[in-house]
Homo-oligomer: A and B are copies of this chain.
Amino acid sequence: MPNRPTLKTVAREAGVSIATASQVMRGSGRISEETRRKVLDAARQVNYVADGRAASMRSGEIREVGLLIHQIANPFNAEVISGVSDLLETEGYLVSVLDSRDDPNRQRRHLEALLRSARGGLLWVPARDTPPDTYSLLATQRVPTVTFLRRGQGQAFDHVGIMNFEATHAATEHLISLGHRHIAFFGGEAPVESRVERIRGYTTALAEHGLPPPLVWPCPDTKAAGLENVLKLRAQHPEITAILCNGDMVALGASLGLQRKGEVPGRDLSIIGFDDVEDASLATPPLTTISVRPYDLGRKLARTLLDRIRDPDLPRSNVLIAAHLIQRETTAPCR
């Protein structure tokens, strides 16, 4: 039973040296058409696939990057990942996607696994409460790194984010223009900047219009939690007529919760989501939400990493993607 083919196998089969075989496979150096053909035939013959480990060790070029995020099973994030993969894969990179579940310990383990095996680059959403030594680990390892969605304490890295403040500011003003005066911010728990910025946009808009003080109601970013918590919120604060959500999943959950109680989203409580996941437009009623084109964000992210890999001395970049309100049917004038 033959072992897996290496360059040696190919070279032997083609009757040339290993060095020559290597040059042919990479299309470099001066090689006659005849030799080229012989080597390529031999390679096809034995189903040769280069060993990326050996290649990258010698050449220093690692075509393997990691993507470490706090939650994979979230349609918005899935779209981001899609955008990242599409671009990086056409450039010949292998993308390893890992889920930290927003847990710093789990994140640390993943990070070390990535540093061991996929050290070509890193796309990273820092978990909440990421300790400083995790940042310094990355710094000493000198892996090209781009943070996204959250920057955490990784101020030294490139970053691709969302215009959170502007988005929730505008969304809140929209609710105000519909006559709402008691508006809550609903969802999310961790003190991550993305949420902090969103809350700031919301709070600022309230203040600018001289409305009652902000009410922030935390809960996990899942449908199930949204469903449950919206009822608690309404029981405890019956004056609330509109909620601005930290994400579509809680928003959709809230919409479901309302309907379970026989109420109508929009008419009985205005709801604005954040992300514009596929379900947002498919839900009944379709969800008013803030859209950020996650796929484009992913591509921008990949592009930023590639630039960084190609030139480590580039100035640190900080890209913010615009977000805009999409009005569907869960917002209505206040009654």
Contacts and interface: CB of A to CB of B under 8 A. Distances in A.
Contacts of A118: 94, 96, 117
Given A96-B94, A117-B63, A54 B51 contact: no
A136 interface: yes
A145 interface: no
A223 B279 contact: yes
A73 B64 contact: no
Contacts of A116: 49-52, 55, 63, 94
A66 B56 CA distance: 19
User: What is the interface residue range for chain A against chain B?
Assistant: 35 or more
26 contacts: A2-B140, A3-B142, A4-B141, A5-B140, A47-B136, A47-B140, A49-B112, A49-B115, A49-B116, A49-B137, A50-B116, A51-B57, A52-B116, A53-B54, A53-B57, A53-B117, A63-B116, A73-B75, A85-B98, A89-B110, A94-B98, A94-B118, A224-B282, A227-B282, A259-B284, A260-B284
Given A94-B98, A224-B282, 19 more contacts: A4-B141, A47-B137, A47-B140, A49-B116, A51-B57, A53-B54, A53-B56, A54-B57, A55-B116, A72-B78, A93-B113, A94-B116, A94-B118, A95-B96, A96-B118, A117-B118, A227-B282, A253-B282, A256-B282
Interface of A: 2-5, 46-47, 49-57, 63-64, 72-73, 75, 78-79, 81-82, 85, 89, 92-99, 109-110, 112-119, 136-137, 140-142, 223-224, 227, 253, 256, 259-260, 278-279, 282, 284
Q: Give the 5 A-B CB pairs with smallest separation, nearest first.
A: A52-B116, A53-B53, A96-B96, A47-B140, A73-B78
